[in-house]
Copies of this chain bind each other. A is one copy, B any other.
Amino acid sequence: MAEPELTNIKSPRVKAARRLAKRAFRDRDRAFLAEGAQAVREALALPGVTVELFATAEAGTRHADIVAAARQAGVPVFGASGEVMAELAQTVTPQGLLAVCRFVHVPLAEAVPGGASLVAVLAHVRDPGNAGTVLRTADAAGADAVVFTDASVDPYNGKCVRASAGSLFHLPVVTAAPVAETVRHLKDSGLRVLAADGAGTRTLDDVDLAGPTAWIFGNEAWGLPEEVLKLADEVVRVPIYGRAESLNLATAAAVCLYASARAQRAAAAR
């Protein structure tokens, strides 16, 4: 490495990065941590996002391409001792690569312009792992954007970033959006707004999903509150054919998003 290796966990640079594990500091610095080769690679693919990169000697050698890409982009690369990396990383077995990144979210109007066909809205989703998994699934299903409402977890939470497996950097993400304003914008943009909830009288099998659709997903334990259900054009439930009481939130979201993707593609092919 060109830069000297950081070995002191109390150095200002390490402390400044470390505190981004807390939301208050993330919001203040408008920055967050992305851990691991996959996330760092995706961050570097977006110009201007990566602020600095920390790499252990071992990871720097193994991922020489990533380190080279960072240098080429003018991103400072700091060697980190194993102890420093353990201090910075939020995982039990750190991969040895960690980037400080600038916030990537965009305003709702930019994330969902006219002509969007599939949007996922996370309302009251509190578990960061679930939120990241839904983000990854929405990306896979070809969604245009993912909106985190102000009652949902922070998309920059370390667990959410990791569970998204790079998808946080792939598609427009909106954060801290008021739900009523969000739904109004989605409707104005020509999307039908469906609330996914066990309270739905119609199931996924009974709804025509060929048109532009926004899905609202709720809380892991109690679903969506009445006032959000009322905002939606329709409340739809995933059918339960067996004896399970319900589906896990991320699982239900996957079934809904892929049902939409499939129906839209089938309609386009006709």
Contact = CB atoms under 8 A, between A and B. Distances in A.
A115 interface: no
A140 B250 contact: no
Contacts of A238: 140, 258
Given A254-B255, A255-B254, A265-B205, A140 B247 contact: yes
A24 interface: no
Number of chain copies forming the complex: 2
A171 B38 CA distance: 38
A139 B243 contact: yes
A141 interface: yes
Interface residues of A, number: 39
Interface in A170-213: 170-171, 205
Nearest to A42: B243
A242 B133 contact: no
Interface of A: 38, 133, 136-143, 163, 165-167, 170-171, 205, 238-248, 250-252, 254-255, 258-259, 261-262, 265-266
